[in-house]
Copies of this chain bind each other. A is one copy, B any other.
Amino acid sequence: MTDRIDERLVAIGERAKAAARKLAFAGTQAKNQALSAMAEALLAHKERILEANALDIKAAQEKGLRSSLVNRLLLTEKAIEGMSNALQEVVNLPDPVGGGEFWTRPNGLRIQKSRVPLGVIAMIYEARPNVTVDAAALCLKSGNACILRGGSEAIQSNIVLAEVIKEAAVRAGMPEGSIQLVTLTDREYVLQLMQMNKFIDVIIPRGGAGLIQSVLENSRIPVIETGTGLCHAFVHHKANLEQAVEIVFNSKTQNPGVCNSLETLLVEEAIAEDFLPLIGERFRRFGVEIRGCEKTTGIWSEAVRAKQEDWGTEYLDLVISVKVVKDLDEALDHIYQYGTKHSETIITEDYSAAQRFLNEIDAAAVYVNASTRFTDGNRFGFGAEIGISTQKLHARGPMALPELTTVKYTIYGNGQIV
């Protein structure tokens, strides 16, 4: 921890707080106009963005970054159009600010419970540059000022993206300080940011377990944990095995680099000899590495032996750990021990096994006979999300616009006393 805060960060904090006071009253129309202007600006500055991104990609390759990480950094013309479209989608979402309930107490007091912005939100995230645009848009739509601190690998892309959308937003009438990027890449400044509870209302880390842990341990600002997903699938002995293959394969391979992808497969012993060759063959053809327990390697010899740490590893890659378990109880215990309370799925045709799994697993999203990849704001029908919360306070699961607000009670009296 540190008590000294760099004056450039203090200046960012002050500007954000001043902007937040005004943003709280920005009308829906004004905010939507700014979002549309941001969407257009991205398209208008495509070239500049691609040039900046090329610098990041070059630096990453020179540093010898893994190709899956380099791919996460890469922006294409299509990706920029995607970010622009995402902004337009935020325009179409309902404004979460202002609505609420209203009631009158027997003494005549009229109490209004309405939704107001949180204030200043700091996002700390890793490689993906599109988070810069997505986070800024969701914060703006919900009336919050944002302070963005992306990963150093994407710094050139983020500088240009933030500049482009911020200029467009300010030109459309949003206060200066509504959208700010911290360009100080040294890790020390992240620690300082986490001490700025005078200026920042909430801090949202989005990234790997190391980042989340560091924020949880160092932040003096309330935190919403997002993005650590060590998700499990349990194939019960009464599963439809063909369906199980499809669900497990989809959960693992459809987009392995995201938090709702599958990391560990648990297979009930009674069907392990039937099921493992089916999924093993499917994984082999797709190039997925299997790290299995002793029983797994005994049945599917192409699997390598898992080490103890594999059960607690979120690979975010074409690797999966596989364990043969005696029964549902052992599966529940394993998930209880290693899960991150994100998304878990059981594949079974057995009613009582499904119900026990749904009830006893303590996670944001618990599935029967479906892919873990559905845990997502859009796929749940909420619209764009700022992350998947794996904590229990405030927000759990996909965090969309309403989760970026808080409540405020306004009470109209005419002289009531207690």
Contact = CB atoms under 8 A, between A and B. Distances in A.
Interface of A: 21, 24-25, 103, 105, 109, 111, 116, 118-119, 201-202, 216-217, 220, 222-224, 240, 243, 246-247, 250-251, 254-255, 358-360, 362-371, 373-375, 379-381, 391-394, 396-397, 406-418
A227 to B, nearest CB: 17
Nearest to A1: B217
Contacts of A202: 392-393
Given A374-B418, A375-B409, 7 more contacts: A111-B381, A202-B393, A246-B415, A370-B414, A370-B417, A371-B416, A371-B418
Given A392-B119, A393-B394, A381 B105 contact: yes
B224 A220 contact: no
Contacts of A366: 408-411
A396 B82 CA distance: 37
Contacts of A201: 392
Contacts of A24: 359
Closest 4 A/B residue pairs (Cβ): A370-B413, A250-B417, A394-B394, A392-B406
Nearest to A201: B392
The A interface is mostly helix, strand or loop, or mixed, namely mixed
Contacts of A25: 359
Contacts of A411: 365-368, 370, 374
Contact of A393 (B224, B358, B367, B413): B224
Given A220-B217, A363-B408, A397-B409, A417 B119 contact: no
A220 B220 CA distance: 10
A226 to B, nearest CB: 13
Given A118-B392, A393-B222, A408-B364, A416 B109 contact: no
A103 B418 contact: no
Each complex incorporates copies of this chain amounting to 2
A373 B409 contact: no
A159 B250 CA distance: 55
A125 B188 CA distance: 35
Contact of A409 (B222, B250, B364): B364
A406 B101 CA distance: 20
A379 B380 CA distance: 37
A416 B412 CA distance: 50
Looking at A24, A109, A216, A254, which has the most chain B CB atoms within 10 Å of its CB?
A109
A222 to B, nearest CB: 5
B408 A396 contact: yes
Nearest to A371: B417
Nearest to A364: B409
A418 B220 CA distance: 38
A370 B222 contact: no
B254 A391 contact: no
B408 A370 contact: no
Contacts of A116: 362
A247 B25 CA distance: 29
A247 B254 CA distance: 63
A375 B105 CA distance: 13
A222 B216 CA distance: 9
A393 B393 contact: yes
Nearest to A368: B412
A341 to B, nearest CB: 10
B381 A414 contact: no
